[in-house]
């Protein structure tokens, strides 16, 4: 289970809606499911606020304000935009796919975050957030803000990345050089948190491996091997050295059942808790409503500061 000290976790329904094709009948259900998964994984709502992105309107307002100071060249460099737009074509890609990193920045900057947990593939997005925070602070903070009646100083904290030492980038089960992603076309490429045990067993049985003897970490010629032993390390709670000692002389026929059992054992209590949460809609709705109220108190304060620093007429 997770030991979460970060105060805000956000099922990002706006980002899902604006960046990918989606079923309008399923968006609300998927949002609730994501929130329930957070809680089932061990997020304690008494310590962390879990809320739906669209339920705190300051996110979209700050996105618009940040967009006015974001050079278009910064967004054109974003790798995910370039990859997705190339695959889909210009006529199928909305403007929001280009600008959603600014919304991600507003998600972070609204709450004056010191640290942001990210995987390796999200480092570029956090770098954009840091650049935007520094740009706004330079353009509108300090003495300029004080002259407008503000407290002066910096408007936004510049957050630091919090990247785990292991598991910062989990790769696909079908291609050890591509990241594991819920948006990948093939469900075979990933382990979903709610996958039943028979499906997990089938995915691991069919996952891509190699013909080298033994198992090892960090061999660039064996990306699938490194990925699978890394997954085992994460879910077993063992150190890298312990996994090496246990698995270095194994073949795939021995290791795959070991990995399968570890995945099933790891996910089972999460899946049980998920079903409990989803069966009590009143509890989940209450957690999300309280989380949105907690978030709005801080988000509105930050938003008021940036409106003031940018010279807007004060709302009465």
User: Are the C-beta atoms of 179 and 121 separated by less than 8 Å?
Assistant: yes
Tokens of 21: 């094709």
User: Are the C-beta atoms of 105 and 129 separated by less than 8 Å?
Assistant: yes
CA distance 245 to 125: 37
Which residues lie closer than 8 Å to 18 by C-beta, 6 or more apart?
94, 96, 97, 100, 103
Which residues lie closer than 8 Å to 240 by C-beta, 6 or more apart?
166, 217, 233
CA distance 41 to 37: 6
User: Are the C-beta atoms of 35 and 52 separated by less than 8 Å?
Assistant: yes
Tokens of 144: 């300029």
CA distance 284 to 35: 8
Tokens of 45: 């709502």
Active site residues: 84, 179, 182
CA distance 191 to 172: 9
Q: How many CB atoms lie within 10 A of CB 65?
A: 19
Helix ranges (H only) for 68-219 are 72-76, 79-88, 95-109, 123-140, 143-147, 197-206
CA distance 260 to 269: 15
Distance of CA 194 to CAs 28, 60, 275, Å? 18, 31, 10
CB-side exposure of 215: number of CA atoms within 13 Å? Answer: 30
């Amino acid at each position: 289970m997770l030991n979460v000290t970060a105060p805000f976790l956000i099922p990002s329904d706006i980002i899902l809606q604006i960046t990918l094709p989606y079923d309008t009948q399923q968006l609300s259900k998927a949002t609730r499911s994501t929130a329930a998964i957070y809680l089932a994984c061990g997020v304690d709502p008494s310590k962390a606020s879990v809320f739906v992105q669209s339920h705190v309107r300051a996110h979209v307002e700050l996105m618009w304000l940040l967009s006015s100071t974001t050079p278009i060249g910064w967004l054109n460099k974003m790798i995910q935009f370039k990859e997705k737009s190339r695959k889909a074509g210009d006529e199928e890609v909305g403007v929001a796919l280009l600008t959603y990193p600014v919304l991600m920045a507003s998600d972070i900057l609204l709450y004056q975050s010191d640290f942001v947990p990210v995987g390796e593939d999200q480092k570029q997005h956090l770098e954009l957030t840091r650049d935007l925070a520094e740009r706004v602070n330079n353009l509108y903070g300090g003495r300029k803000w004080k002259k407008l009646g503000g407290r002066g100083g910096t408007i936004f904290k510049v957050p630091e990345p919090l990247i785990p030492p292991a598991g910062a980038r989990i790769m696909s089960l079908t291609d050890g050089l591509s990241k594991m992603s819920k948006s990948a076309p093939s469900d075979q490429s990933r382990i979903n948190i709610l996958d039943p045990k028979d499906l997990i067993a089938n995915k691991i049985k069919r996952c891509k491996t190699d013909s080298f003897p033994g198992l090892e970490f960090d061999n660039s010629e064996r990306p699938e091997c490194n990925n699978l032993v890394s997954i085992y390390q994460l879910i077993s709670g063992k150190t890298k050295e312990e996994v090496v000692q246990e698995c270095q002389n194994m073949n795939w026929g021995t290791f795959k059942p070991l990995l399968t059992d570890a995945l099933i054992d790891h996910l089972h209590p999460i899946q049980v808790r998920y079903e409990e949460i989803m069966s009590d809609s009143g509890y989940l709705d209450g957690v999300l409503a309280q989380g949105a109220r907690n978030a709005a108190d801080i988000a509105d304060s930050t938003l008021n500061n940036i409106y003031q620093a940018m010279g807007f007429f004060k709302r009465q």
